[in-house]
Structure 1
Amino acid sequence: MDPDQLDPAHEGHVLSPDDGDYLRFERTFASPPGELWAALTDPDRTAAWGFRTGFEPRAGGVVTMSDGGAGEVLAWDEPHALEYAWEGYGGRWHVRIAIAELHEGALLTFDHVAPDPNSPDIAAGWHWHLDRLELHLAGGTPPAVDSDAHFEELQRLYAHAEG
């Protein structure tokens, strides 16, 4: 994806079922489910597009984050479902990931459950990281930065959507 071009289909949306709000992103990737799973669970791969994250590959396993945060794998069904929570960045974070096989590639459903799924900054952050994941899976190398002009554009997009 061209980082200078925003695709409305890539935007996250807050869903509000009876059990509470969560922020959902849905992305289609040309990569098969196993390749997408590896990019989401291999520490060297997660470091390329997001944060180095290590997983003990089982429900109840340990999650370790590059910032020293740690947590628990809540669900592990390779290569279809991953859910984990960890303490870090000022709170308890919780994400759910589902991968469905498509005729040519995979559909990623990424849910941010906590903290504050209504936060424009969190929406911009996950959107930015998922764009970087897309670049990584396409064979590109995302720059080693904590933010850039694309991230700032996403912050404006989600702040505007909130207001």
Structure 2
Amino acid sequence: MTTTQPTPRATGRREERDGTAYLVFERTFRAPIGDVWAAVTESDRLVRWIGHWAGDPSTGAVSFFMTAEAEDAPAETVHIDECDAPRRLVMRSARPDDHSEEWRWQIDLAESDGVTTLVFAQEVSDVVLAESVGPGWDYYLDRMVAAEAGADLAAIDFNDYYPVFAEHYRRELT
């Protein structure tokens, strides 16, 4: 049986958090919170939709390889600033295009009646950044949903997200 992927849509919205602009995305899963937590923190689960990490998280940092973009993706150091399993994870890393700035992410999970809601937020400093990372996170989070549902990730095409959604994210930050 062939399953059809839903038509991609731009889901991110701008939100102020402690005076800082973030793009915020939500996804829901018919799964317990511990299962969704594993999908965003365990290397063997992450690799299904975005990449994998190596190292010891208890040190406060891991090496992350974003292999969904390329099998030979270089490692980047991701610092773990807060980890309250299975509810909250706050991380940061150097921006790939500007190592003087950092990217900051927040992941919050909540479960109700067997449904877990994931709220993912990335700090965004300007419209240009939002135009690219907004569509990127819609793409990756849709891949996560598909991976967790056992769907065909090859059916999710980045060209359906970028540059198609760039205007939505431009409007969100202006």
RMSD: 2.7
SS in 2 for 1:27: strand
- Name the residue aligned to 1:77: 84
- Tell me which of 146, 157, 161 is aligned to 2:165: 157
SS in 2 for 1:49: coil
Long gaps (5+) in structure 2: 66-73
- Tell me which of 122, 125, 128 is aligned to 1:112: 122
In structure 2, C-alpha distance between the alignment counterparts of 1:15 and 1:2, rounded to whole Å:
32
Asked if 2 retains the 8 angstrom alpha-carbon contact of 1:55 and 1:61, the reply is no
Moved over 6 A (4+): none
In structure 1, C-alpha distance between the alignment counterparts of 2:126 and 2:5, rounded to whole Å:
26
In structure 1, C-alpha distance between the alignment counterparts of 2:88 and 2:55, rounded to whole Å:
13
- Determine whether 1:94 maps to 2:104: yes
SS in 1 for 2:111: strand
- Name the residue aligned to 1:27: 27
Percent of aligned pairs sharing the same letter: 25
Taking CA–CA contacts closer than 8 Å with sequence separation of 6 or more, which of the two structures ends up with the larger relative contact order? Answer: 2
- Name the residue aligned to 1:53: 53
- Name the residue aligned to 1:143: 154
Alignment size in residue pairs: 157
Change (3 A) 1:54 1:36: farther
SS in 1 for 2:137: helix
SS in 1 for 2:123: strand
Question: How much does 1:6 deviate?
Answer: 3.2
- Determine whether 1:127 maps to 2:126: no
Matches within 5 A, 1:8-19: 11-17=11-17, 19=19
Asked if 1 retains the 8 angstrom alpha-carbon contact of 2:92 and 2:104, the reply is yes
Letter in 2 for 1:74: D
